[in-house]
Structure 1
Amino acid sequence: MDSSKAIYKALKDNNINFIVSVPCINLARVLEMIDQDKEIKHVPVTREEEGFGIAAGAYMAGEDTAILMQNSGLGNSINVIASLYKLYKIPILMIISHRGTRGEFMKAQIPMGEATPLLLEALKIPYHVPSTPEEAYNDIKSAWKLAKAKKYPTAILLEVSFW
């Protein structure tokens, strides 16, 4: 199974039925699969904070939610994660394209790549860093199970070398 199919299959198998996303070249194939799936509501957004707000509303309406985004938007989302998701115990699965890691070709991505795990740790958000499609599938399953049980955000960091 390739990386994109593993992520899509994990989302489907875990009944995540509402996804917001911000464009990202690494997540493009997954987003194409999601777009073609009539059982998943997909809302593309221009900014991560907007996506978190929409996903929170969807959760309140009974949907199981995820956001697919690049790590550059994590910094923009700190306030909404801390003051909305953590405060009101809203689960969400964050699938994050972790730019600035091993194999990155754009030096401008490296500072945020280094900061990403530190930001998640500061927010006390559990995260997984899978290195194979099989690990990604299993990590998504366990991360979503934890998010739902604890009513808390969880994250999957997909490093450049993952793709």
Structure 2
Amino acid sequence: MIEAKEFIETARNFGFDWYTGVPCSFLTPFINYVINDAQLTYISAANEGDAVAIASGATIAGKYAVVMMQNSGLGNAVNPLTSLNYIFRIPLLVICTLRGDVNLQDEPQHELMGQITDKLLETMTVPWEFFPTDAAQIEPVLQRATAYMQQERRPYALIMRKGTIAPHALTRSSIPKREDNSNPHIQQSFFRGNQEQRISRNQALARIVELINPENTVIIATTGYTGRELFASKDSANHLYMVGSMGCASSLGLGLSLARKDLKVVVIDGDGAALMRMGNFATIGTYGGANLIHILLDNEVHDSTGAQATVSSDISFAKIAEACGYGVTLSGDDPALLDILFTADTKTTPKFAHLKIRPGTLEKLPRPNLTPEAVLQRFVKYIEGVGRVGDAGTRGRGE
């Protein structure tokens, strides 16, 4: 058994100062220590997949990030680990607990995952070893992990058994409180009422590109036609085209915006993607700042898979965003709401717009002619040129 301090302080010496995840009782002392230290960042995610995406955004910004989860939630993380971190080559340190350990009597729901946790990581080509149980093991473990992350730019996992970390009390509030509650909430609707007059996705994307300042702003486009149409409309180094990890664009955008508060981050979401991971609305509303703009282009269908209907037609995403803590929540089918969104000032809270658009896409829609890895490396170089550039920028990505 080791003290949480022993691992976390050694990890800090390796550059790890950014943590996110979903709790497990095995991790409680570890999480408590991170929360208690104001110099460390801890983001409480709604689910493990969102935690992976949030940490990935921080890594892109130059941080060394740690994702913590119970192995029962490892299944939630499979999608981003395989279709985000693997293909874009984004390294993370994953700490996964071993519920259902064959050496322990545990709850029945953990039995199977306890048997396959190591095999699941191996199937995803994530190398792993057991979390250190002796202080002398900590530095060598972190040396192996960081060496792999720097060379391969992919995740490395530590499997933590029960009783590995000694108890550590929580002494600091685990959830941040908004320091400035004086900003009035801005909520407006802009419905013209004629579905046939709704603009296309391509028209909406073109207007968004016109409204941003490319000198300090990046755009993260969700998977499917959104990223492909943004590429077709205007390819740029400040664009990141998500080609997998459906629903994770907003999580990744949150992590990036928190790690680089000098950068304006625009996330362009879709109705299917937003429905898939609605828990991240609450995480963004709690942790997000005024440098994050979340735009949902809603055509009420899964367009890229055959236009099957989503359930978004009667869902008020703006009201959900308002209830979750966004400072500006706009909705409608009038593209003028985009102009209002970009001129509104919340000072401390993220902004949201739910724009209804029509289904359909461009004829002969191309795919990006760059690999996801190339897109990301171009994007990283771009944001390094915005504002500050520090040593952590290269360390965090293992370049």
TM-score of the two chains, using structure 1 as the length reference: 0.90
In structure 1, what residue type is equivalent to 2:144? Answer: S
| Cα displacement string for residues 34-93 of structure 1 (whole angstroms, at most 9, x for unaligned residues) | 012222211011200111111111111111111011111111111110110010010000
Q: Say which one has the larger Rg.
A: 2
Helix, strand or coil at the partner of 1:43: strand
Helix, strand or coil at the partner of 1:17: strand
Q: How far apart in 2 are the matches of 1:158 and 1:57?
A: 24
Q: Does 1:13 align with 2:40?
A: no
Change (3 A) 1:136 1:73: farther
In structure 2, what residue type is equivalent to 1:140? Answer: L
* Superposed displacement of residue 99, structure 1: 0.9
Q: How far apart in 1 are the matches of 2:130 and 2:75?
A: 19
* Superposed displacement of residue 131, structure 1: 5.6
Partner of residue 106, structure 1: 107
In structure 2, what residue type is equivalent to 1:59? Answer: T
Q: How far apart in 1 are the matches of 2:60 and 2:149?
A: 15
Partner of residue 129, structure 2: 128
Q: Which moved more, 1:48-57 or 1:98-107?
A: 98-107
Q: Which moved more, 1:52-61 or 1:84-93?
A: 52-61
* Superposed displacement of residue 137, structure 1: 4.6
Query: Where does the alignment leave 5 or more consecutive residues of structure 1 unmatched?
Result: none
| Cα displacement string for residues 96-139 of structure 1 (whole angstroms, at most 9, x for unaligned residues) | 11111122432321210111111111111110114623334532
Partner of residue 155, structure 1: 157
Partner of residue 83, structure 1: 83
Q: Which moved more, 1:145-154 or 1:83-92?
A: 145-154
Indicate conservation of the 8 Å contact 1:140/1:156, yes or no: no
Q: Which moved more, 1:118-127 or 1:95-104?
A: 95-104
Helix, strand or coil at the partner of 2:20: strand
Indicate conservation of the 8 Å contact 1:104/1:160, yes or no: no
Partner of residue 34, structure 2: 34
**Which has more helix, going by share of residues?**
1
In structure 2, what residue type is equivalent to 1:138? Answer: P
Q: How far apart in 2 are the matches of 1:19 and 1:113?
A: 24
In structure 1, what residue type is equivalent to 2:122? Answer: E
In structure 1, what residue type is equivalent to 2:124? Answer: L
Partner of residue 65, structure 1: 65
Indicate conservation of the 8 Å contact 1:3/1:132, yes or no: no
Structure with more relative contact order (C-alpha pairs < 8 Å, separation 6 or more): 1
Partner of residue 44, structure 1: 44
Change (3 A) 1:110 1:7: farther
Q: How far apart in 2 are the matches of 1:117 and 1:5?
A: 26
Query: Where does the alignment leave 5 or more consecutive residues of structure 2 unmatched?
Result: 166-399
Change (3 A) 1:104 1:159: farther
| Cα displacement string for residues 4-62 of structure 1 (whole angstroms, at most 9, x for unaligned residues) | 33332332222112110211111111111101222221101120011111111111111
Q: How far apart in 2 are the matches of 1:103 and 1:131?
A: 18
Partner of residue 116, structure 1: 117
Q: How far apart in 2 are the matches of 1:7 and 1:131?
A: 9
Indicate conservation of the 8 Å contact 1:146/1:154, yes or no: yes
Q: Does 1:97 align with 2:86?
A: no
TM-score of the two chains, using structure 2 as the length reference: 0.39
